[in-house]
Structure 1
Amino acid sequence: MKHKVIYSLIALVYLAFAKAYAQQPDASLLTREQAVELMLENNYGIQIARNSEIIAENNTSILNSGYLPSLQGTAGASIDENDSKTDFNGALDGNGVPRDDIEINNAQTTQYNAGLSLNYTLFDGLGRLYNFKRLKEQYQLSQLQARSTIETTTVQLMSVYLEIARLTENEKIFQENLQISKQREQRAQYQFDYGQVNKLEVLNARVDINADSINLLNARQQLRNTKRDLNLLLNRDLNQQYVVDTTVTFQNILVIDSFLEKVKQNNVSLLQAESTLQISDYDIKTTKALLLPRIGLSGSYGWNQSENPPTAFFPSTTRTSANIAVGANLTWDIFDGGSSLNNLRNAKIAYKNEALFKSQLEQEVARDIANAKGNYENALAIYKMQEQNVLTNDDNFNRTQEQFKIGQVSSVEFRQAQLNLLNAVTIKNLAKYDAKLAEYQLLQLVGQILNMPL
């Protein structure tokens, strides 16, 4: 009787702890679409990629093209103050009288000047034209890089989201499994009280309750940790509470097959390689422009004013002048030591490397898509098999449970049927979400992850 009281107290303490441990604030549903919206708005990596895109867009402005003239203005002023003394050394004036010394103090000379200088490159071998095209292509590349970041982050987000959905379903399964074990323990206790079974049956049932309780606690802790991982991706409070949608709908395989025909037009990695190749082509043309002459126009306007103090021989004067100059110039680096030719050779080799990289990438993408499609089809097949396996184990468990109630099977056989069903359901959940993740990965490779419903 003493042991019975102790076991009852332990059970009550555990139930109270489990209830407190599982207690959570009210949580709202976070759909996949809402998660993606929050990711696009808050994720640090995406914000950085978009800022880089804005910088590349700014670089395509006419202000960065080299097509506008340069205008420079200058202005200045100066004041000189001098003291002077003129000694005539006894020289006589017109009346035969020795000349007096002339002393001038604080004589100021003031000068002002202002000017405008205009320069314009009329022709530079088309270098600025191809450089401007290069900047536009660089902007297109930055857009593709931002898209690549968004696609990769979306798949990462969905991976964590699906893991939360799997753990959510597992928590429910472990909870139901624990309830079955408690009912078995209660039944064994009644049978022991009436002398139908020995104490070992009760103890075995309690051992299984303890194992099922640990599984449930671990599942809940994993669920909390994974929810924090998702909150981190969404850049919000790590302890934000929510529930996820566990519904999974697979895309029509025929629709996915249709995307395979347009991989070169949609795969972001291939599009980036094509853009990089085009930039290398513009680099060659820009380098060639250095071998051609450059023609420029220039113009200037200047204004000067000088206020001079009186001297021993002249009165104070003010002098003002203005000038306008217009000119043209031609510059041609006929031979610059060979650096331009060397740069041109290197630019052509860089272009060949980019072409080789693109060809290699095309093969790699084709391989990745073939693997991803095979993984997806295999995952779907496994999921369907696991669904059938769950039905078989569920039927087996129900039959075993009925036989256990009438004493035709032992508690060991009942427990084995219970564990078989538990494993079958958890494996089916894993197969379901693995198949959905494989679908997301395939959609990313064919460039449609952002265009299809999640």
Structure 2
Amino acid sequence: MKYKNMSAFLLLAITFSVTSFSQDLLSKEEAISQMLVNNFGIKIAENQVEVADNNQSVLNSGYLPTLTGNANAQYDRSNETREFPGAFNEDGSPRPNTEIEGAESQSYNASLNVNYLLFDGLGRFYNYKQLKETYNLTELQARETIENTTLQLFSVYFDVARLTENLEVFKQALEISQKRVTRSQYGFDYGQSTKLEVLQAEVDVVTDSVIVLNAKQQLLNAKRDLNVVLNRELETIGFQVDTLVEFENDLLLESFVEKAEFNNVTLLQAESQTRISDFEIKANKALLLPSVGLTGSYGWNRVNSPASAFFPGSVSRGNNLTVGANLTWNLFDGGRSIVGIKNAKILNDSQKLQEQQFELQVNRDIANALGNYRNLLKIYKIQEQNVETNQNNLERSRERLNLGQISSIEFRQAQINLINVQTNKNLAKYDAKLAELELLRLTGQLLNVEF
């Protein structure tokens, strides 16, 4: 009776938790769409691309002239006493001091200045090309972020799918165990079986119930992990995922592998960094050449001067236009430009060596990924056959149990064997698919296929 009460409680808990799931389907396409819009890492990468796009603008190129405006206004008020020692009037009396109080003066001026660099040894040209290539590199880095996040997404998505299928397997096992309890109880009531068989069946029900509860909790945890990748409310768990998995055609995969050197994002980034290094050398060489520029300015001024002891007050106005050209040639800067060119060439050589290293590593990774994928796909097909074999074995064991030809322990072992191969098959299926996605990422095709 004790076992019956416990199993009834566990059944109630399982029924409540399972039926609380909504049947809303989160498809693979919808998951990718939400990831692209909401994922934090992808948002940051998009911001970096936007910054690089701003940097490659003509407004940041140095090709446009500069225009500055200046304006000034000044006011002065003073009191002045001027003495004339030794000076006399016509009548011979000493000349009195002259006092000026509250003498005010104002001055105003404004100017516009234009500077335009005509030629700087092509340094500006190569710096602009560097900014353009840096933008391309940033786009490749953003693509790499999206590819890695997509792999992360499917790793968690398929984990949810695997746990969902495992939960169904465990629920079916629990249902079989429940039927065994009923059949054993009937057999005991009619004297065809012992109480031990009833107790063993009830123990198996409890065991399977606990397994189902644990699987349910693991599924909830995996759904929260998926919500983190999608950047949505953690407790949005009332959804199901698509458990259907389709594999790409093997010939198509081989064509992807053949073109991997033109599409792999790591190799493309290395090539981009080499081009940036080339531009850096040319920009440093430009420091050895002269620069030519144009200047121009237009100014206006006005000065109001107060009366003095010798002159009456005055107002002066004026404007001026100035146009000029300048030539600057740094004939010798202590050798800094030469050192800069040498270092740029060394860094360029290092970048080319790193590009060769990446190519070798990527080719290795692709070969390993292709081998892993094919191996896991074979394992999955073997596990499929194994499931069919164990299902037939369980059905035959059920018939023999009903005929009393095997014990409940032997039947339980057949049931456990089926559970194990079913969960192994689920694991093999999603492992093979993830291996395929990794191969697609390495060949640069992950974002070009349908899921």
Report whether the alignment pairs 1:246 with 2:234.
no
**For the Cα contact (< 8 Å) 2:3–2:202, is it kept in 1?**
no
Q: Which amino acid is the alignment partner of residue 304 of structure 1? A: N
| Partners of 1:250 and 1:192 in 2: CA distance | 51
Which residue does 1:88 correspond to in 2?
Answer: 84
| Partners of 1:204 and 1:12 in 2: CA distance | 16
Which residue does 1:259 correspond to in 2?
Answer: 256
Which residue does 1:146 correspond to in 2?
Answer: 142
Equivalent of 2:398 in 398, 401, 405: 401
How far 1:336 moved relative to its partner? 0.8
How far 1:98 moved relative to its partner? 4.5
| Partners of 1:10 and 1:376 in 2: CA distance | 45
Which residue does 2:337 correspond to in 1?
Answer: 340
Q: Which amino acid is the alignment partner of residue 325 of structure 1? A: T
How far 1:419 moved relative to its partner? 0.7
Residue 450 of structure 1 aligns to a residue whose secondary structure is helix
Report whether the alignment pairs 1:329 with 2:326.
yes
Which residue does 2:75 correspond to in 1?
Answer: 79
How high is the sequence identity, in percent, across the aligned residues? 54
Paired residue total: 450
Question: What are the ranges of 5 or more consecutive residues in structure 2 without an aligned counterpart?
Answer: none
Report whether the alignment pairs 1:37 with 2:11.
no
What CA RMSD, in Å, does the superposition of the two structures yield over aligned residues? 1.3
Equivalent of 1:13 in 1, 9, 12: 9
Superimposed CA distance per residue, residues 57-113 of structure 1 (whole angstroms, 9 cap, x where no aligned partner): 111111111111111111101111110112334743345554343211110111111
Superimposed CA distance per residue, residues 208-265 of structure 1 (whole angstroms, 9 cap, x where no aligned partner): 1121111111111111001111111111111112100111111111111111121121
Which residue does 2:297 correspond to in 1?
Answer: 300
Residue 299 of structure 1 aligns to a residue whose secondary structure is strand
Equivalent of 1:164 in 160, 164, 180: 160
Following superposition of structure 1 onto structure 2, how do residues 103-182 of structure 1 map, counting pairs within 5 Å? 103-182=99-178
Residue 290 of structure 1 aligns to a residue whose secondary structure is helix
| Partners of 2:304 and 2:90 in 1: CA distance | 31
Which residue does 1:373 correspond to in 2?
Answer: 370
Moved more, 299-308 or 76-85: 299-308
| Partners of 2:218 and 2:73 in 1: CA distance | 76
| Partners of 1:133 and 1:254 in 2: CA distance | 40
| Partners of 1:30 and 1:280 in 2: CA distance | 45
Which residue does 1:359 correspond to in 2?
Answer: 356
Residue 199 of structure 2 aligns to a residue whose secondary structure is helix
Q: Using structure 2 for the length normalisation, give the TM-score.
A: 0.97
| Partners of 2:383 and 2:219 in 1: CA distance | 23
Residue 155 of structure 2 aligns to a residue whose secondary structure is helix
Residue 219 of structure 2 aligns to a residue whose secondary structure is helix
Question: What are the ranges of 5 or more consecutive residues in structure 1 without an aligned counterpart?
Answer: none
Residue 104 of structure 1 aligns to a residue whose secondary structure is strand
Moved more, 370-379 or 112-121: 112-121
Q: Which amino acid is the alignment partner of residue 19 of structure 1? A: T
Residue 448 of structure 2 aligns to a residue whose secondary structure is coil
Which residue does 2:316 correspond to in 1?
Answer: 319
| Partners of 2:370 and 2:424 in 1: CA distance | 22
Q: Using structure 1 for the length normalisation, give the TM-score.
A: 0.96
| Partners of 1:113 and 1:279 in 2: CA distance | 47
Moved more, 333-342 or 169-178: 333-342
Superimposed CA distance per residue, residues 268-324 of structure 1 (whole angstroms, 9 cap, x where no aligned partner): 111111000000000000010011111111112222211110011111011122222
Residue 259 of structure 2 aligns to a residue whose secondary structure is helix
Which residue does 1:223 correspond to in 2?
Answer: 219
| Partners of 1:136 and 1:62 in 2: CA distance | 10
How far 1:378 moved relative to its partner? 0.4
**For the Cα contact (< 8 Å) 2:10–2:209, is it kept in 1?**
no
Cα–Cα, structure 1 residues 211 and 408, in superposed 2: closer, same or farther, change >3 Å? same
